[in-house]
Amino acid sequence: MTYQQQYKKSINDPEGFWAEQAGRIQWFKVPDVTLSKDEHGVDRWFADGELNTAYLALDYHVLQGRGDQLALIYDSPVTNTKRSYTYKELTAAVARFAGVLKAQGIEKGDRVVIYMPMVPEAAIAMLACARLGAIHSVVFGGFAASELAMRIDDAAPKVLVSASCGIEVNKIIEYKPILDAAIDIAAHKPSRCIVLQRDLCRCELNDRYDLDWEIGMAAAEPADCTPVLATDPLYVLYTSGTTGKPKGVVRDNGGHAVAMKYSMDVVYDMQIGDVFWAASDVGWVVGHSYIVYAPLLAGCTTVFYEGKPVRTPDAGAFWRVCEEYGVKGLFAAPTAFRAVRKEDPDCLLAQQYDLSKLKTIFMAGERLDPPTYDWVLEHIQRPIVDHWWQTETGWAIAGNHIGLEPAKVKAGSVTRPSPGYNVQILDSHGKAVAANEQGSIAIKLPLPPGCLPTIWGNHDRFVAGYLRTFDGYYITGDGGYLDDDNYLFVLGRTDDIINVAGHRLSTGEMEEVVAGHSAVAECAVIGQASDLKGEEPLGLILLKDGIDIDEEELQRELVKRVRDQIGAVASFKHAVVVQRLPKTRSGKILRKILRNIANNEEYIAPSTIDDPACLAEIETTLKEKGVRK
């Protein structure tokens, strides 16, 4: 079927379309019901189907005779390590670690928080949870102890899985102190913490709750796959919302497996045995979907890379890995290519490698700026697929579906909606706008399989955040437009979320941390354009009356606060003191205008502004302090 045929069928007959796709995975009990409503009235896929995601990702392939094929290749320039697992080996390791978890009392529905660097054991832990029907929640290593504690309290895990350290280029990040601090801060106390000792920096284990990964593995019996319902959660992944508390996006088993398999075909054009490399981290949704689950569900070989696009050791890292493992599809954030371009402007390092196996480069996570697109295209000469999605959906809402037919690429567009996503552009009243008119990007319900059915432990937040704004629609939080050919143009977030180096961060959360400083009366944190990271946070600070503080010292303290309370990944490096913050008459800070001013963009002051003179004042302050673009 062509893209048009598939898209039409998926919108006109979603049940028929997805029932057909569901037939392509091996269920323990084939679902009789394709689409139904749960107790909250939310659409659910394959409700009475039974399966096990780890079985589909591993055992199934072994049973199909693919046991000796490579499942996972670990390449770690930061530790000079290369290791690979066949499907048979990975299945055995996962079954054994599932046995370790089982011995700790983990059963179906229990939560396990995983706080690990990019080591294969992270994938083994995730898949072991899936094997037992337990729910994993992976926390990105760049988050600080209090962020980890917040997730521990929300997910209430029985067990934590971690490692002694991570490595950032050449800097050792000791995980154990972060872990211990998080357990101290959290009200919920896990009963066990399983720690992988890494030779670069072993840590001291305590008798209270620590268990050495190796000791656990040596003593464990392999555990079997537990059948789960399609609607049972596979994982909870926390993502930034507009408030300080992250949202636990819930992913179910059945819809996810069907969507992952489908997307590997149509979005990425990957077949059994192909090598796929998503150069991201297991702590992000890209890592969940396209480092771990989808490539394995599709019988591909996934590359697990512990390194950076640059400095490990140089800007040729991407091309070296592509040659060495015969990567067919490379997926990374545009910021990674901007980093490569900065260090190797003529892309000379790529010429040292044989990239003949590389067919397509995929980009997502943030807006793909035309200069980056042009540069990669010029030097690598492969189709570049920009596709748009979010933690909540788990797979591409829109893209160029090369597995069906490559479409004509339009500059600046993420191409067309994926089959299953009825994308509409709505005005502020929820009315669909005409082609080429901007509005809120919404998806008409039902969402396709794989998308979130709720927020962990807080269904009201799911309804309030995504479903209540426009009846019958899910709102994405992004603004944009569809053109006459139904090509989608994503123009950016309509809320207080920013995207720093492809990482989703909440300015609201940073504001809460900054405002906690004793000298700060009020503040606004905005995303300022950055040539490398897309956006970087900038804090505008209003001091309390009578405070006399050195501005550089204040900036140092605020930077440290954000680093300590959110993590290094927030990249909060700049804070400037201003005399006033522009507000509406009802007292709301005009953050969008602040962003325009900081980025030196045109803006129109709204009629609701309290004191228009304040804008010129801010312009002058930012110029004087050298932070205006």
Q: Which amino acid is at 465?
A: G
For residues 282 and 308, give the distance between their C-alpha atoms in angstroms, rounded to a whole number: 14
State in angstroms the smallest separation of the CB of 16 from ligand COA.
Answer: 33
Residue listed under structure tokens 């204040």? 554
Nearer to ligand COA, 281 or 323 (CB): 281
Least separation in angstroms between residue 81's CB and ligand COA is: 17
Longest dimension (CA), the chain: 75
Question: Judged by CB, which is closer to ligand COA: 25, or 139?
Answer: 139
**Shortest distance, position 44 Cβ to ligand AMP, whole Å:** 22
User: Which one, 89 or 495, has the nearer CB to ligand AMP?
Assistant: 495
Least distance to ligand AMP from the beta carbon of 396, Å? 9
**Pair of tokens at residue 335:** 């910021």
Residue 571 touches which of ligand COA, ligand AMP, none (Cβ within 5-8 Å per kind):
ligand COA
Q: Which residues bind ligand COA (CB under 6 A)?
A: 141-142, 166, 168, 173, 280-281, 284, 286, 308-310, 333, 335-336, 339, 365, 501-503, 533, 568-569, 571
> Which helix (H) or strand (E) element contains residue 99?
helix 87-103
Q: Spell out the residues 6+ positions from residue 39 whose beta carbon is closer than 8 angstroms to its own.
A: none
3-class secondary-structure state, position 465: helix
Question: Length of the chain, please?
Answer: 629
Q: What residue 336 binds from ligand COA, ligand AMP, none (CB within 5 to 8 A, per partner kind)?
A: ligand COA
**What is the Cα 369 distance to its own chain's centre?**
19
Asked whether the bond before 334 is cis by omega within 30 degrees of 0, the reply is: no
Give which of ligand AMP, ligand COA, none residue 141 binds (C-beta under 5 to 8 Å, depending on kind).
Answer: ligand COA
Closer CB to ligand AMP, residue 139 or residue 196? 139
Give CA separation, 119 vs 24, 138, 259, 467, 596, in Å.
31, 13, 26, 37, 41
Min separation Cβ 561 and ligand AMP, Å: 23
Which residue's CB is nearer to ligand AMP, number 142 or number 477?
Answer: 477
Q: Which residues of 500-510 are buried (b: 16+ CB within 10 A; e: fewer)?
A: bbbbbbbbbbb
Residues near ligand AMP (CB under 6 A) are: 239, 285, 364-368, 386-391, 414, 476-478, 490, 493, 499, 504
Residue 477 interacting partner from ligand AMP, ligand COA, none (CB closer than 5 to 8 Å by kind): ligand AMP
Given the complex with ligand AMP, which of 330 and 575 has the nearer CB atom? 330
CB of 283 to ligand AMP, least distance (A): 10
Task: Report what 373 binds from ligand AMP, ligand COA, none; CB cut-off 5-8 Å by kind.
Answer: none
Q: 339 is in the binding site of which of ligand COA, ligand AMP, none (Cβ under 5 to 8 A by kind)?
A: ligand COA
- The distance of closest approach from Cβ of residue 300 to ligand AMP in the complex, given in angstroms and rounded to an integer, is 21
> Positive or negative, the Cα torsion across 277, 283, 284, 288?
positive
Beta partners for residue 81, in sequence order: 76
- Gap between the Cα atoms of 394 and 264, Å rounded: 12
Closest CA to 124 of 261, 217, 249, 192: 217
**Of these partners, ligand AMP, ligand COA, none, which one is at the site of residue 333 (CB under 5 to 8 Å by kind)?**
ligand COA
Spell 462-472 as b/e; 16+ CB within 10 A means b: beebbbebbee
Residue 391 touches which member of ligand AMP, ligand COA, none, C-beta under 5-8 Å by kind: ligand AMP
**Closest separation in Å from C-beta 478 to ligand AMP:** 5
Residue type, 495: D
Specify the DSSP class assigned to residue 164. Answer: S
Min. distance of Cβ 621 from ligand COA in angstroms?
Answer: 26
State how far Cα 421 lies from the chain centre: 19
Across 407-514, the runs of DSSP E, i.e. the strands, are 416-417, 422-426, 439-444, 473-482, 488-493, 497-500, 503-506
User: From the list ligand COA, ligand AMP, none, which binds 280 (C-beta under 5 to 8 Å, kind-based)?
Assistant: ligand COA
Choose between 189 and 342: whose C-beta lies nearer to ligand COA: 342
